A and B are shown apart, each in its own frame.
Chain A
Amino acid sequence: MVTSAPAALLVAALVALTACVSQPLAEPRITMRTGRGAKQPVSAIVALTPTCGILASHMRDGNDGAVYAEPAKCEPAVLDGVGQEIRGALAFAGYQVIDAERVNAITSRHHEVIERFNAYGSRHIEQRGATFEDATPVEQAELLRELGADAVLTTRLWIGAGYGLSGRRMVAVQVRLASARDRQLVWARRCELQASGFESDEAALAAAARCTAKGMPRP
Chain B
Amino acid sequence: VRIAGLLACLAGCQLVPPPAHARVLRGAAHADPPTTIVALPIATTAATPEQAAAVASATRMALELDGYTVVDAELINAEMRRRTTETVERLSEAPPAPSERPAQSHSDTTTETKVSGGKTWLDAGVVTRTRLIAEVGAQGLLSTAIERSTGAMPWNGQVTVDLTLMRLDGRLVWRSECSANFGAVWSSWWTTQQAIEQAIERATHCALESAALW
User: B79 at interface (Cβ–Cβ under 8 A)?
Assistant: yes
Among A12, A127, A134, A188, point to the contact of B85 (Cβ < 8 A). A127
Do A121 and B91 touch across chains, with their CB atoms under 8 A apart? yes
- Closest B residue to A48 by beta carbon equals B75
With A20-B13, A184-B35, A190-B65 known, 8 other A-B pairs at CB within 8 A are A13-B8, A51-B57, A54-B54, A73-B50, A136-B135, A137-B136, A159-B54, A188-B65
- Within 8 Å CB of B198, what residues of A? 161-163
Q: What total count of A-B pairs have CB within 8 Å? A: 213
Do A66 and B189 touch across chains, with their CB atoms under 8 A apart? yes
Q: Which A residues from 112 to 131 make CB contacts under 8 A with B?
A: 114, 116-131
Q: Which A residues from 1 to 33 make CB contacts under 8 A with B?
A: 5-7, 9-10, 12-14, 16-17, 19-20, 31, 33
Among B49, B69, B78, B83, point to the contact of A136 (Cβ < 8 A). B78
Do B88 and A124 touch across chains, with their CB atoms under 8 A apart? yes
> In the complex the two chains form, what is the Cα distance from A156 to B90 in whole Å?
36
Q: How far is the CB of B190 from chain A (nearest CB, A)?
A: 4
Q: What per-residue 1/0 map shows which CB atoms of B107-134 lie under 8 Å from chain A?
A: 0000000010010000000000000100
- Closest B residue to A14 by beta carbon equals B7
Among A20, A72, A139, A162, point to the contact of B11 (Cβ < 8 A). A20
User: A147 at interface (Cβ–Cβ under 8 A)?
Assistant: no
Measured CB to CB, the residues of B under 8 A from A are 1, 3-5, 7-8, 10-14, 35-36, 48-51, 53-58, 60-61, 64-65, 67, 69, 72, 75-95, 115, 118, 132, 135-137, 188-190, 193-194, 197-198, 200-201
Among B4, B56, B81, B188, point to the contact of A13 (Cβ < 8 A). B4
A-B CB proximity, top 10 nearest: A53-B57, A69-B193, A53-B54, A16-B11, A13-B7, A9-B4, A161-B197, A55-B54, A71-B50, A134-B81
Do A164 and B57 touch across chains, with their CB atoms under 8 A apart? no
Q: Interface size class for chain A? A: 35 or more
User: A95 at interface (Cβ–Cβ under 8 A)?
Assistant: no
- Within 8 Å CB of B91, what residues of A? 120-123
> In the complex the two chains form, what is the Cα distance from A6 to B7 in whole Å?
11
Measured CB to CB, the residues of A under 8 A from B are 5-7, 9-10, 12-14, 16-17, 19-20, 31, 33, 35, 51-57, 59, 66-69, 71-74, 105-106, 114, 116-131, 133-139, 154, 156-165, 167, 172, 174, 176, 178, 182-185, 188, 190
- Closest A residue to B1 by beta carbon equals A6
Q: Which of B8, B13, B80, B89 has the most CB of A within 10 A?
A: B13
Whether A128 contacts B82 in the complex (CB less than 8 A), given A9-B1, A134-B118, A185-B67, comes out as yes
- Within 8 Å CB of B92, what residues of A? 119-120
Q: How far is the CB of B35 from chain A (nearest CB, A)?
A: 7
- Closest B residue to A11 by beta carbon equals B4
Do A105 and B94 touch across chains, with their CB atoms under 8 A apart? no
